[in-house]
Every structure is written in structure tokens, then in C-alpha cells.
């Protein structure tokens, strides 16, 4: 779930209403996949918590795919993709 203030801030800055908000959320999803996911370490349940936070992001599937690769390892920890 995206913080309510974030959604309001998106529409205020975009000037395009729902389309601008969607564009901002897509940009957020891309930034998370590019910057946050590669830095995620520790137990695999952290990946699930991150996905829960991205529930309203339109391109959530990008994060799902990246995190699925990190969770695919045999150990209980997230595996870093090279």
C-alpha cells in the first residue's frame, strides 16, 4: 500500500491527475527495482514485506520477478544476483 500523502503529492506535482499519479508510481516501482532490490539482504521474508509495500504500484511485477530470482536459492537468505 502506498502512503496516502504520496499519492496526493504525485497528483499535485504531475498536473495530469490520475495519469500523472500512475506515471509517478511506475517511476517509483522502477526506482525500487533499480536501487532498493539489489541492496536487500537477509531473510527471504524481507522480500515479501517489500512486495507488500508495493501492492498499489502498477509495475509491481518487475519487483516480483527480481525478488523471485533472489529468493530462488537453497538457503534461507536472499541470494544476490550477479
51's grid cell: 512486495
The model scores a pTM over 0.75: no
pLDDT score for 80: 83
Asked if the model's pLDDT at residue 48 lies above 50, the reply is yes
Q: Tell me the per-residue pLDDT of 3-43, one tens digit each, with 9 for 90 and over.
A: 554 444 444 454 568 899 999 999 999 999 999 999 999 99
Residue ranges of the alpha helices (H) in 2-59?
4-14, 18-31, 45-53
Residue 6 forms beta bridges with which residues? none
> Please, which pLDDT band fits residue 55 given cuts at 50, 70 and 90?
very high
pLDDT in tens, 61-77: 999 999 999 999 888 89
Amino acid at each position: 500500500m502506498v502512503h496516502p500523502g504520496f499519492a496526493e503529492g504525485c497528483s499535485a506535482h504531475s498536473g495530469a491527475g490520475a495519469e500523472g499519479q500512475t506515471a509517478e508510481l511506475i517511476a517509483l516501482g522502477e526506482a525500487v527495482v533499480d536501487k532498493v532490490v539489489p541492496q536487500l539482504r537477509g531473510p527471504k521474508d524481507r522480500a515479501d514485506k517489500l512486495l507488500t509495500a508495493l501492492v498499489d504500484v502498477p509495475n509491481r511485477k518487475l519487483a516480483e520477478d527480481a525478488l523471485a530470482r533472489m529468493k530462488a536459492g537453497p538457503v534461507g537468505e536472499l541470494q544476490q544476483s550477479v
